[in-house]
Structure 1
Amino acid sequence: MPKTQDSFHTKHDLTPEFAYAVFQLLTQVDSQGITPNDLLTIAQQLGSPLAKRSNLTKILRGMEELELVQRRRELVSLSAIGQALAASVGSYERGFLSAIHCLYFWTWLWQHNEQIATPSWSYWQVCREIQSAGINGINRDEIVLRIVNNATAQFQCEKVSFSRSSIHGVTIWLEAQTPALIDLKEERIFPQTSQTATSAELLRLNIGALYKYLGGPIPLSEPSLLRLAESLLITIDSWIDSIVDFVSESS
């Protein structure tokens, strides 16, 4: 019997625009929380981008999956992680977007539980496929097929709910980075290959995430550098000197 806990779909409803708008509003809500309907009403009164939505169910659920939002009965509020983000890089949009990419990519890896699939696992897999494709790029159908096959083999699932819309749930965050981490050309997705394709801020966040994943100092070994390269969607060859210098300074 397949495990009901497995979840592969990355929600395309949780767009950078909507996620940041919800996050901004929730930073003004006290720890008691607010109902989703009241939150939407406030958004409409303020002319927030969320006013385009008829409800916030899918957006809030996506933010709960990232553990940024907590729910107590009918009330939602920022979680401890959400509050910490609001007090740091989440206080401005670019930092928030970088942090969400980081959370999506690393959360499943941090959990060290290879038996249970989550949307974070799918996000990581999509990034790996794009990064490894290099200058040849890869189309969405190829990614879907590979991830479904990988998921079936790793998690022993009879059915894997993952589609092109799931990939869109990943690429919207990769495109939202400054500079964007991918380049879309017709049906193919390419990783950025320029040495200016990754901001120092995003690099710092992912080095910190890798440090947490390893549980200590980062060895300058191929497995560690490859994992970092996957999180930034860059090739090791193009960035090896810069990465080694940055990791050495950060460690």
Structure 2
Amino acid sequence: MSSRDAPADPAWRPLYRAGAAAAGLAVLLYAAALVIVAVTSPPPTSGGELVLAFVHAHRTVYIVRQLLWLVPSLLLMVVFLALAVAVRHRGRGFAAIAGLVAVTSWAVSFAWPTTGDGALAMVVLSDKFAAASTSPQRAPFVAGAELLIALNDVPAVIGLLQTLGLLMISLLMRRGPFAAGLARLGIATGTVGVLSELLRPVLGWAYAGYGVLLFIWLGWVAAALWRRAAHEP
């Protein structure tokens, strides 16, 4: 048996196909988010009142932007679960830990109040801000907006765990059953991701370098998982 061939188990074929579809869809959603970011006016990066006024004036586009950054987290839970199962024969204990870290970190994204590009909670605050008629009534909503703005720029433990999970899975992938190039790209993506999350407040647009690597890696993973499903009897 080749070092890259794990024992076949047809029971996992649906999971591999679901993982492949989820990875491909995540890439499409992220690409759509980037297009919207490129063709629409960016929200202010400071000033609670300015941000709330902007969100209220561009409510629909702002909501779409946030959803396009958030929904892929659900898809990536499926992707990393499929990958953890696929590499389980290369180290069951390590694969279980890597899968737990990766899947849980993407799941917790739904509990974190910001997306890195804003926050859905900002929409609620903007509605309440617009309905208020006096400065004292608006003050709590402005304070809430300032907090969300600050959280967007803070290195989040969730983001660090997401990149760490990717790195751990990729280290197992070096031994199969996927191409060595995919494993190397995953290791590079995970390493750059960890550093990018730690240095996020000072990187600015350079943080997008991690995003580009992640898109390429996910596209390759989609194809690899689909082939993996096809090879199951």
Q: TM-score, normalised by structure 2?
A: 0.27
Greater share of helix residues, 1 or 2? 2
Q: TM-score, normalised by structure 1?
A: 0.26
Greater share of strand residues, 1 or 2? 1
